[in-house]
């Protein structure tokens, strides 16, 4: 069934966040965490999977929560929903500290789907929704609206065990939407969907945000997050390495520089390394391509010096340009997913 929130104390204090942007005022935030940390085990066996997260999820936004497998995304979402108790740190939802005293009220305003889509296989989709309706004291109109939003109305009388994975995902989203929440937390909601289904979910989430619902969504489908989310949070090894807009994220990564030259074959790796010495952190990361040399991580003030050195070395420079980069390129660079070049 849909899962919801549980414990902890006061909202995070205002301050800088990864990416350099100022954190919005608390009243503009649907989710705030301060120092959120989760450690499993004790002593030498202790393993910290989430470390010191300061999340700031704006109200009415689609917040894309990105990170490689094992980076701590699901663990974080479970702590936000009270499915796991933080080792330390504070959580606030919808402007209120998340405590035992506020739990019931906050759960009534929050919907979620974490990991596996919910539902009893031996019941129909409609019967599953009636179970949710009884648990949450919902009206039939709310149930019908939720099923219609995810396009399951015509399949509601089929047994859930006959559903495809995509249909089960849509049923899970319908369960999360049935109470008409202000905050929606979804872990991999497009998992198992075909391209048309992914597009439908994307439009649904964007439209919900347009109606004022705050949507926090994790996904490994970076292109989908790029097209859906207005704010991004990037997690690597349990730490938040970026939080802000897509434009701010793209600014965090310096695109590769391509130097087009017919003399690339005569330029040995050792010579290229000497020419790049002092311009990039590791000269050996440059690589030769069919039409020249590709240099990652070269700042703007180093480009002119590199061209000067190449010309002085007798290398003809026909063109110098920045390579286009995608969200995935930047994501891989931030999380250390890209190998040495």
Element (H, E) at 208: helix 195-210
Q: What is the pLDDT, as a whole number, of residue 339?
A: 30
pTM check: above 0.75: no
Angle separating helix axes 269-276 and 300-312, nearest 10 degrees = 130
Q: What is the pLDDT, as a whole number, of residue 26?
A: 63
**Which of residues 112 and 323 earns the better pLDDT score?**
112
Alpha-carbon gap, residue 150 to 121, rounded angstroms? 19
Per DSSP, 339 falls in state: P
Q: What is the pLDDT, as a whole number, of residue 250?
A: 73
Are 99 and 267 a contacting pair, CB within 8 Å? Answer: no
pLDDT at 265 over 80: no
Coil vs helix vs strand at 257:
strand
pLDDT at 24 over 70: no
Give the residues across from 5 on adjacent strands.
none
pLDDT at 175 over 50: yes
Q: What is the pLDDT, as a whole number, of residue 52?
A: 96
Q: What is the arithmetic mean of pLDDT over 137-152?
A: 92
* Structure token pair of residue 129: 């929704």
Q: What is the arithmetic mean of pLDDT over 169-195?
A: 89
The residue behind tokens 């596996």 is: 116
Any residues with CB less than 8 A from the CB of 76 and at least 6 apart, and which?
36, 38, 50, 53, 55, 65, 235
Q: What is the pLDDT, as a whole number, of residue 44?
A: 87
Q: What is the arithmetic mean of pLDDT over 247-260?
A: 80
What are the extents of the domains in the chain?
Answer: 26-251, 254-324
**Which of residues 241 and 196 earns the better pLDDT score?**
241
* Size (the chain), residues: 341
Alpha-carbon gap, residue 84 to 41, rounded angstroms? 14
Element (H, E) at 268: none
Alpha-carbon gap, residue 287 to 50, rounded angstroms? 35
Stretch among 60-74, 145-159, 270-284 having the lowest mean pLDDT: 270-284
Q: What is the pLDDT of residues 329-341, one digit of tens each?
A: 777 777 766 332 2
**Which alpha helices (DSSP H) does 253-291 contain, by range?**
269-276
Q: What is the pLDDT, as a whole number, of residue 302?
A: 87
C-alpha atoms less than 13 angstroms from C-alpha of 63 in its C-beta half-sphere: 29
Exposed / middle / buried, residue 113 (Cβ in 10 Å: 0-12, 13-18, 19+): buried
Task: Look at the alpha carbons of 69, 223, 110, 33 in this order and tell me if their dihedral is positive or negative.
Answer: positive
Q: What is the pLDDT of residues 204-226, one digit of tens each?
A: 899 899 999 999 999 876 777 87
Any residues with CB less than 8 A from the CB of 251 and at least 6 apart, and which?
none
Coil vs helix vs strand at 113:
strand
Alpha-carbon gap, residue 143 to 134, rounded angstroms? 11
Alpha-carbon gap, residue 317 to 140, rounded angstroms? 70
Alpha-carbon gap, residue 323 to 325, rounded angstroms? 6
* Structure token pair of residue 321: 């340009």
CATH number of 26-251: 3.40.50.300
Q: What is the pLDDT, as a whole number, of residue 155?
A: 94
Are 56 and 232 a contacting pair, CB within 8 Å? Answer: no
C-alpha atoms less than 13 angstroms from C-alpha of 19 in its C-beta half-sphere: 26
Q: What is the arithmetic mean of pLDDT over 227-255?
A: 86
pLDDT at 18 over 80: no
Q: 34-45 in b/e burial notation, b at 16+ Cβ within 10 A?
A: bebbbeeeeeee
Alpha-carbon gap, residue 51 to 309, rounded angstroms? 44
CATH number of 254-324: 3.30.70
Give the residues across from 169 on adjacent strands.
none
Q: What is the pLDDT, as a whole number, of residue 182?
A: 95
pLDDT at 1 over 80: no
Q: How many helices (H) and strands (E) does the chain have?
A: 11, 15
Residue of 246, 211, 214, 198 whose CA lies nearest to 61: 214
Alpha-carbon gap, residue 89 to 62, rounded angstroms? 24
Alpha-carbon gap, residue 341 to 326, rounded angstroms? 17
Q: What is the pLDDT, as a whole number, of residue 327?
A: 67
Q: What is the pLDDT, as a whole number, of residue 7?
A: 32
**Which of residues 282 and 159 earns the better pLDDT score?**
159
């Amino acid at each position: 069934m849909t899962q919801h929130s549980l414990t902890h104390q006061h909202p995070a204090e205002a301050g800088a966040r990864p990416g350099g942007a100022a954190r919005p005022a608390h009243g503009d935030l649907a989710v705030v965490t301060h120092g959120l940390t989760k450690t499993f085990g004790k002593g030498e066996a202790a393993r910290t999977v989430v470390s010191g997260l300061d999340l700031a999820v704006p109200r009415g936004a689609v917040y894309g929560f990105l990170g490689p497998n094992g980076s701590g995304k699901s663990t974080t979402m479970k702590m936000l929903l009270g499915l796991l108790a933080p080792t330390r740190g504070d959580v606030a939802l919808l402007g209120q500290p998340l405590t035992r005293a506020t739990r019931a009220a906050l759960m009534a305003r929050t919907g979620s789907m974490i990991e596996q889509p919910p539902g009893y296989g031996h019941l129909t989709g409609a019967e599953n929704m009636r179970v949710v309706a009884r648990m949450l004291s919902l009206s039939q109109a709310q149930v019908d609206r939720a099923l219609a939003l995810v396009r399951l109305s015509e399949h509601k009388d089929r047994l859930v065990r006959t559903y495809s994975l995509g249909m089960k995902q849509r049923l899970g989203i319908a369960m999360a939407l049935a109470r008409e929440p202000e905050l929606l937390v979804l872990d991999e909601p497009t998992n198992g969907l075909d391209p048309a289904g992914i597009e439908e979910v994307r439009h649904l989430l964007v439209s919900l945000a347009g109606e004022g619902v705050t949507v926090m969504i994790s996904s490994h489908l970076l292109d989908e997050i790029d097209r859906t989310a207005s704010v991004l949070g990037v997690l690597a090894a349990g730490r938040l390495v970026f939080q802000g807009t897509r434009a701010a994220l793209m600014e965090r990564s310096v695109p590769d520089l391509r130097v087009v030259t017919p003399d690339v074959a005569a330029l040995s790796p050792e010579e290229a390394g000497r020419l790049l010495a002092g311009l990039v952190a590791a000269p050996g990361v440059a690589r030769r391509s069919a039409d020249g040399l590709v240099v990652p991580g070269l700042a703007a003030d180093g480009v002119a010096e590199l061209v000067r050195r190449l010309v002085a070395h007798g290398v003809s420079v026909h063109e110098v340009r920045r390579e286009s980069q995608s969200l995935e390129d930047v994501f891989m660079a931030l999380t250390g997913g890209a190998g040495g070049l």
